[in-house]
């Protein structure tokens, strides 16, 4: 004869088990409720590669794509997992490949990266981080649909600012480095922490050499747009894979004068070593979060790559004002929107596949470019 228990007694036993810290019942119940193979605190997944994307306007699959969708669909990242404090559910495969969509802006990206990297269900100590997103490009350096691997990431937000209508006549800009009294004053002072981040130059060069022959998409609309930049020979060429540095600012700026500021700001903070090529809204947030996490040993900042692909030019062509061109090339109307998404996936996935396919080679040794 089987023993019976009153329902109230059964309920009290379940509640006691769940709230008891010493019994371990709650941990066992939580793990048993997860699908088979799902990472857990008791068995964290060793991560090989994290793909960082920044926006997705709709669903993760099947509609008008953003930066996230091609990775989810083409890499078969079919598993979803909610990460507390993140913008969208994580997408992943059981072989240690993850993709995250952070949402736009420096602050949001920093918060999401920190939340993800602190999740105890994953082990990020050997993970490679690849940001793959679209950007504006300086027509002096490249053209629409191009892909640029960055060595320097420069924060464009930390500054003093005076409206240009009130700035001294001998100033080139009303944007002044923090703790300074005029634009580009020397010696530099950096009292608020990181303004410029330098990625592992050997890894960046390795990624560039691995991918520099990647075919890139061209369209008639792109060609028509780039041909208007008659004063910029590189803007009128076909897209290519290159190396070029990124200025990160949460303000979507545009125009010839702002382009000059971006070049000057990059030269100032990198002591002339960096070359401003692309502008986007998030990468200093990613690097700031990973820098702090690296200090605790939870990530390796020598394994970080930033790839930005050109959806639009950052300034107007001859015959147009900055305001007119901004309206023409505004979000959702970029003449190289789809080609830039294709470039981000096409170039970035070659690095992903190389790392995963030869993981025993790269797990403990970060790749470096061989001498040319």
d(CA 140, CA 221): 20
d(CA 223, CA 143): 10
What's the half-sphere exposure (Cβ side, CA atoms, 13 Å) at 241?
24
d(CA 232, CA 269): 25
Q: Tell me which of 164-173, 248-257, 362-371 is least confident.
A: 362-371
Q: Which domains does the chain have, with CATH numbers?
A: 40-158+195-362 (3.40.50.1580)
d(CA 282, CA 200): 19
Alpha helices in the chain (DSSP H): 7-19, 25-32, 69-74, 106-117, 201-211, 220-226, 256-269, 283-295, 322-328, 337-357, 359-362
Rounded (5°) CA angle 365-370-371: 145
Q: Give pLDDT, residue 59.
A: 81
pLDDT at 1 over 80: no
What is the per-residue DSSP string for 117-163? HT-TTEE-TT-EEEEEEEEEE-TTT--TT-EEE-SEEEESSSEEE--
Work out the average pLDDT over 277-296: 95
Report the SS3 class of residue 310: strand
pLDDT tens string 181-210: 999 999 987 755 689 999 999 999 999 999
Q: Give pLDDT, residue 7.
A: 39
Report the SS3 class of residue 12: helix
DSSP state of 239: P
Tokens representing residue 6 in the block: 């009153």
Rounded (5°) CA angle 314-273-344: 45
Q: How many CB atoms lie within 10 A of CB 242?
A: 19
Tokens representing residue 205 in the block: 């060069």
Q: What band does 23 get if pLDDT is binned at 50, 70 and 90?
A: very low
Work out the average pLDDT over 81-110: 93
């Amino acid at each position: 004869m089987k023993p019976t228990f009153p329902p109230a007694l059964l309920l009290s036993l379940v509640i006691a088990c769940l709230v008891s810290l010493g019994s371990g019942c709650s941990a066992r119940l939580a793990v048993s409720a997860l699908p088979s193979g799902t990472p857990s605190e008791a068995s964290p997944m060793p991560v090989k590669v994290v793909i960082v994307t920044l926006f997705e306007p709709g669903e993760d699959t099947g509609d008008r794509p953003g930066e996230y969708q091609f990775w989810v669909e083409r890499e078969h990242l079919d598993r979803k997992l909610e990460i507390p404090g993140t913008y969208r559910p994580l997408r992943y495969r059981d072989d240690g490949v993850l993709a995250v969509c952070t949402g736009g802006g420096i602050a949001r990206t920093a918060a999401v990266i920190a939340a993800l990297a602190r999740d105890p269900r994953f082990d990020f100590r050997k993970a490679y981080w690849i940001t793959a997103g679209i950007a504006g490009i300086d027509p002096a350096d490249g053209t629409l649909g191009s892909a640029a691997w960055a060595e320097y990431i420069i924060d464009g937000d930390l500054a003093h600012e005076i409206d240009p209508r009130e700035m001294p006549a001998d100033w080139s800009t009303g944007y002044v480095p923090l703790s300074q009294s005029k634009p580009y004053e020397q010696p530099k002072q950096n009292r608020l922490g990181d303004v410029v981040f330098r990625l592992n130059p050997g890894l960046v060069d390795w990624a560039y050499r691995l991918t520099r022959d990647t075919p890139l998409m061209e369209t008639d609309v792109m060609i028509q747009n780039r041909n208007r930049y008659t004063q910029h020979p590189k803007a009128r060429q076909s897209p290519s894979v290159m190396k070029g540095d990124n200025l990160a600012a949460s303000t979507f700026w545009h125009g010839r004068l702002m382009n000059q500021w971006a070049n000057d700001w990059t030269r100032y903070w990198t002591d002339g070593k960096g070359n401003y090529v692309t502008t986007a809204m998030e990468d200093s947030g990613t690097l700031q979060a990973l820098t702090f996490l690296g200090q605790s040993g939870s990530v390796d900042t020598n394994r970080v790559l930033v790839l930005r692909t050109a959806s639009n030019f950052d300034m107007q062509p001859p015959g147009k004002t900055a305001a007119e061109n901004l309206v023409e090339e505004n979000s959702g109307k970029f003449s190289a929107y789809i080609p830039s998404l294709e470039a981000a996936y096409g170039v970035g996935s070659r690095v992903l596949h190389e790392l995963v396919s030869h993981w025993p080679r790269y797990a403990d040794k970060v790749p470096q470019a061989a001498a040319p």
